[in-house]
Amino acid sequence: MIFAVKVTTNKEDKSLDMIDEKINKKSLHVYSVARPHGLRGYIFLEAPDRETAEEAAFGLPYVKSILPKTLEYSEIKNMIEPTVAEIKIEKNDIVEIIAEPFKKEKAKVVRIDKQKGEAVVTLLQAAIPIPVTVKLDNLRVIRREESEEEKDLKEQGEDKSMEESFE
């Protein structure tokens, strides 16, 4: 059975650690405890019955209550299982960093590591080009630099259109 534990917003990690500590200390039969990314104010707890879940959660700071309704895995599957997003950032793209400490800085992508979800960029306004590693979800593409093939195709198309205009 999966239970939703209501906790103080922005204290989910702290609550999760305390619940985990209590489960280990009392050797409770709790199968899993999860804090889904993006869901604020709730932790999911999987236990064989309500009494075990209540014993694991209650009496702890930041824990408010356990919702009366149990959840099915299908209801929370999209929150727990990671989804691989299509990465649309390429080498030589001009990007804007949308997170601190370089928020609103423009940079050029030097290298991309798709497994780690990171990109190495050089800041455009910096006097000395220093490589900075940034998470891909903290980047927004501003301008895409064309590859040599695309440039050649464009030039060929422009040449043909110029020839046609002279005829």
pTM: 0.51
Q: Looking at residue 61, what DSSP letter applies?
A: T
Say if CB 89 and CB 77 are below 8 A apart.
Answer: no
Per-residue pLDDT band at 36 (split at 50, 70, 90): confident
DSSP per residue, 115-127: TTTEEEEEESS-S
Q: Quick one: pLDDT band at residue 109, thresholds 50, 70, 90?
A: confident
- Does residue 146 surpass a pLDDT of 80? no
Where does the chain hold its CATH 3.30.70.940 domain(s)? 2-80
Q: Looking up tokens 């869901």, which residue turns up? A: 39
For the domain bounded by 2-80, which CATH number is listed?
A: 3.30.70.940
67-92 mean pLDDT: 77
Least confident range of 4-8, 31-35, 118-122: 118-122
| Domain covering 84-147 assigned CATH 3.40.50.1970 in the classification | no
Domain with CATH 2.30.30.30 in the chain: 84-147
> What tokens does 48 get?
């064989």
Question: Residue 144 corresponds to which amino acid?
Answer: R
- The percentage of residues in the chain with a pLDDT greater than 70, rounded to a whole number, is 82
**What pLDDT sits at residue 117?**
76
pLDDT in the model for residue 22: 93
Instruction: Tell me the pLDDT band of 46, cut-offs 50, 70 and 90.
Output: very high
Using CB atoms within 10 A of its CB, is residue 63 exposed (0-12), middle (13-18) or buried (19+)? Answer: buried
**144 contacts 90 by C-beta, under 8 angstroms:** yes
Name the burial class of residue 24, with classes exposed (0-12), middle (13-18) and buried (19+) by CB atoms within 10 angstroms of its CB: exposed
